[in-house]
Amino acid sequence: MLERVLQHLEALVAFDTRNPPRAIGTGGIFDYVREHLPGFRIEVTDFGAGAVSLLAVRGSPSRLFNVHLDTVPSSPGWSADPHRLRVEGDRAIGLGACDIKGAAAGLLAAAAETRGDAAFLFSSDEEANDARCIAGFLASDHGFREAIVSEPTGCEAVLAHRGISAVRMAFRGRAGHASSADALDASALHQAMRWGVKALDHVQGCSHLRFGGLTGLRFNIGKVEGGIKANVIAPAAEVRFGFRPLPSQDMDALHATFRSLADPAALAEYEETFRGPPLPAGDVAAAEARRLQARDLADELGLPVGNAVDFWTEASLFSRAGLTAIVYGPGHIAQAHSADEWVALDQLEAYAQSVKRILT
C-alpha cells in the first residue's frame, strides 16, 4: 500500500498550493483528487480568494475525513525543489508531505482498496487567517455526526488542543523632534513597547493554569512596525500578536485584559483578525463531555489516543458545530513548516492502513 501512497503523494506535492498567495482554483490538484475517486459523488465549492473545497461521498456515511491541501510558503532553506518529492532512506521529503498531503495521499489509496461508505472533505485555505471552506461546509445541510481531521499527530488520536486568536493593535503618538522632553510618552512605539512588557508579564502569570495535560497560555508578539527615523518621535505604530488559550480559558476575557494593558489615550484600534475555538469547544463542562465522546470514538475505531497538543486545528470548528471531532494523521508537527519538510514512510503506511480498516 505504501507504493500507492507515495505515487499519490508525489503527484500532490507537485501541485503548487502555497498559502499565501493561495492562488488555487477549482482545477489542478482538485482535478487530480476527482480523477482518483471513481464511484464517489463529487461536489466542488469555490468560496473565493483561493478557498476551494471538494466533498467526495460514497454510500451514506455519517463520518467525515477532512484534510487540507494548501501548504505554507517554502523557505529559502530548502536543499532541492520543494515541489518534487524525494524518498531518502525512511523519509518522504517535499513541501506539504508532512502537513498534510501525506494524509490526502493515504485517503486516496485507502479509497481505492475499499468499497464501503466513505466521505472526504478536501480544502485549500487552512494555512491562512482567512479560512472559509470549513465554515461554508458546516453552514450547509451536511448530515455528518463525526469528523476525523488530518494533521500531523504521529498516527495518534488527539482529543484536545488550544484555541487561537490573532490581533492587530494600532497605537497613536505625536510626531516631533526626538530631543523633546515628552518623547518618552508621545511616541507610539514607546506605548507599544510598554504594552508589550505588560502583556508578557501577564502571560507569565498564567503559567500555573492547566487543562488536560496542557499548561499556561501561549503568546507571541509577531510583528511591530511604525515610526519614521531615529530622531523623529513615532506618530503611529502597529503590533500584531497572537495567543493560544487553554480550552478552559475565556477568550473574550483575555481580549479584555490585553486591551486594558494599553494606555487608552494611545490605543487607536484593537482588532481581532482571526479566532479559532479550542478542542473540544464549549465551556468547561461541555468541553469535558465532548472530550469523552471523542475518546469513545477513538476507542471504537481502534486508534491509540495521544496527548493534547499546543497547535490549533480546524477540528475545533467541527466540535463547535456539534460533531464529535478528533485530530489524526501521519507525521509529527516538528517536521511541519520546516525546510526539507518530511514524513516517515512507516507513518504514511500506518495511516493509510488504518483508514482502510476504518472504511472496511
List active site positions.
126
DSSP readout, 98-146? IIIIHHHHHHHHHHHT--S-EEEEEES-TTSS---HHHHHHTS-----E
Q: How far apart are CA 16 and CA 215, in angstroms?
A: 37
Q: Which run of H or of E encompasses 188?
A: helix 188-204
User: What's at 285, amino acid-wise?
Assistant: A
Bond prior to 100 in cis (omega within 30° of 0) = yes
3-state secondary structure (DSSP) of residue 236: strand
* Contact between residue 331 and residue 99 where contact means Cβ atoms under 8 Å apart: yes
289-296 CB contacts, 8 Å cutoff, 24+ apart? 290/319, 290/324, 291/159, 291/160, 291/212, 293/324, 294/157, 294/159, 294/324, 294/325, 294/326, 295/159
3-state secondary structure (DSSP) of residue 16: coil
The beta strand positions in 173-261, using DSSP E, are 210-211, 214-215, 218-226, 236-244
User: The C-alpha cell of 201 is what?
Assistant: 508579564
The beta strand positions in 30-75, using DSSP E, are 41-46, 52-58, 63-68
Sign of CA dihedral 285, 289, 295, 301: negative
